[in-house]
Structure 1
C-alpha cells in the first residue's frame, strides 16, 4: 500500500516509526495530505491516548541529540518550533543552563582549541558559539579563559 493510500492514522504511524514527532509537527505534515482537519485530530487523539505521541519523549530526544552541541537559546527555539508547550520548554532549558559553560567550552575546544589572537579570530569564534545558541556572557567566559582550565 503506497503512502498516499494509507489512512491518516496509518500515515501518522509511518512517520512516527522513523522518529518522534510532536503533535503540532504531525498535524502540519498530515494536514498537507488530509483535507479534513477533524480526521487528523481524531487520529492524533487516538495515537496520543495509546502513547504513540508523547511530547516529553520529543523533548528528551532533542535534549539528548542536540543538547551537547547547542546552547539553551537554540534548544529553546527548536522546541518552540516543534510546538512544545511553554512549561516543558522552560523545564528543558533550565536543565541545560546548569551546564551551559561546560558545553560551550567543549564545542569551542573541538572547533578551535586555541584562544583568539586578534579581533578577527575573536569575532569568528564568538559568532560560531552565538550561532549555536550560547549566550553572550557564556561566550565571553569561554573566549577569556585559558585552555588549561
Structure 2
C-alpha cells in the first residue's frame, strides 16, 4: 500500500469511528480532499472486505434512527437511496423486520406519530383530515397506511367492534 492509500484509510477509519457511513458517503467526503477515485475505491474495497465498512450495517443503523424519530418506510427508503443504499442490492437488510423489532410495525409507529402530534381529541373535519394526511405523508407513510389509521381513529372514537390491523 502506498502512502496515499494509508492516508485514505486513516481518513476512512476516522470517519467510521464516529458513526457508520455508506460507501457513497465516504467517497463523497474523500473526493474533495484530493484523493484519486481509484485509490478511494481500492481502500473502500479493502475496508469492506475487512468488515470495517458495511452498507448493510449502515442501512440498519440509519433506518433504526429514522424509525425512532417517527419516519415511515417511503421516507427512509428514499433517504437510503440518496445515500447510495438500494435495498434490492442488500438482501440481508429487511426494513419491515426492523420496523417490527424497533416500533412494533409500521402501523404501531404511525399511531405513535399521530397521537404524539394530534392527541386523542374529537374527530376532525374534512379539511383537518387532509392536513393531517399531508403531514403523515411527508413523514413517509403510504396513503394506504394513513387510510387504515383514520379508520382506526374513527372506530376507536365510536367504539365499534374490531379495529383494523390488530
TM-score normalised by structure 1 residue count: 0.83
Residues 1:92 and 1:116: Cα distance change in structure 2 (over 3 Å): farther
Quick check: which has more Rg, 1 or 2? 2
Task: Tell me which residue corresponds to 2:16.
Answer: 16
Consecutive unaligned residues of structure 1, counting only runs of 5 or more, are 1-5
Residues 1:80 and 1:126: Cα distance change in structure 2 (over 3 Å): same
Residues 1:116 and 1:91: Cα distance change in structure 2 (over 3 Å): farther
Consecutive unaligned residues of structure 2, counting only runs of 5 or more, are 1-5, 158-162
3-state SS of 1:126 partner: helix
Residues 1:116 and 1:14: Cα distance change in structure 2 (over 3 Å): farther
How many residues are treated as equivalent by the alignment? 144
Let me know the Cα RMSD of the aligned residues. Answer: 2.4
1:1-149 to structure 2, matched below 5 A, reads: 7-68=7-68, 69-85=70-86, 86-88=88-90, 91-95=93-97, 96=99, 99-114=105-120, 116-146=123-153, 147=156
- The alpha carbon displacement at 1:8 in A equals 1.4
Q: Which runs of 4+ in 1 moved over 3 A?
A: none
Q: Which range moved further: 14-23 or 29-38?
A: 29-38
TM-score normalised by structure 2 residue count: 0.75
